[in-house]
């Protein structure tokens, strides 16, 4: 049975780029839905990265920020559910600017949490929508049989969680290490 991994920005990263212009509340990168509202482009992020300490391939949880190389690698392995918006990272240290980044909306949610094996806290029911109750996982376990062979998706029970198939994780690691990509992969 194929393994599933949670894809996260490097939890030990020294710097996390932050978006400069606050976006409209209806623009939500963590919901798994297509964003249809206009967004100011490019999205500008500031960071303490510099020409001596370059940004890595993946940053941000609220607005995932990925390098063009990471996006192209995901597409090359077959990921097709990314909505990408041009972005720039601007250094607050030495005025360096990186234009090879995009803000990424992962489209699609799959309900695959194994509640009997996971440790979690129920946050709230969402009766006003078709969404599942929202939970926070302390130790997430996924039932791979429920993923429908998806390569990359959000967890319906906790949409802030991005999951990838084992073949995607292996492919990324065949190109760069977790540290070089700026990612953390946790088997779920």
- Give the tens place of pLDDT for each residue, 33-50: 999 999 999 999 999 999
Cβ neighbours for 188, distance < 8 A, ≥ 6 positions apart? 4, 5, 6, 140, 141, 142, 163
pLDDT value at 126 more than 80: no
pLDDT value at 3 more than 80: yes
DSSP state, 22?
Answer: P
Instruction: Say which residue the tokens 């949490």 belong to.
Output: 113
3-state secondary structure of 167: helix
Hey, how many other C-beta atoms are within 10 angstroms of the C-beta on 166?
A: 16
The dihedral through the CA atoms of 154, 81, 21, 59 has a sign that is positive
pTM of the model: 0.92
Cβ atoms of residues 71 and 82 within 8 Å: yes
What integer pLDDT is reported at residue 6 of this predicted model? Answer: 95
In angstroms, rounded to a whole number, what is the distance separating the alpha carbons of residues 77 and 169?
10
| Residue whose C-alpha is closest to residue 131's, from 38, 62, 30, 3 | 30
- DSSP letter string over 32-50? SS---S---SSEEEEES-B
Q: Who has greater pLDDT, 20 or 134?
A: 20
């Amino acid at each position: 049975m194929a393994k599933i991994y949670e894809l996260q920005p490097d939890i030990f990263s020294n710097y996390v780029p932050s978006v400069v212009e606050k976006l409209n509340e209806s623009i939500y990168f963590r919901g798994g839905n297509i964003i249809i509202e206009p967004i100011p482009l490019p999205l500008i992020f500031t960071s303490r990265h510099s020409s001596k300490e370059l940004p890595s391939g993946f940053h941000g949880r609220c607005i995932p920020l990925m390098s063009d190389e990471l996006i192209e690698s995901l597409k090359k392995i077959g990921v097709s559910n990314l909505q990408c918006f041009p972005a720039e990272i601007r250094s607050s240290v030495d005025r360096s600017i990186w234009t090879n980044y995009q803000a990424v909306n992962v489209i699609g949610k799959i309900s695959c949490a194994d509640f009997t094996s996971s440790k979690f806290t129920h946050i709230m029911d969402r009766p006003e929508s078709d969404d599942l109750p929202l939970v926070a996982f302390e130790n997430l376990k996924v039932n791979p049989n429920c993923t429908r062979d998806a390569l990359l998706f959000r967890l319906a029970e906790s949409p802030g969680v991005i999951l990838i198939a084992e073949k995607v994780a292996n492919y990324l690691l065949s190109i760069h290490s977790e540290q070089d990509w700026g990612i953390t992969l946790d088997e779920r």
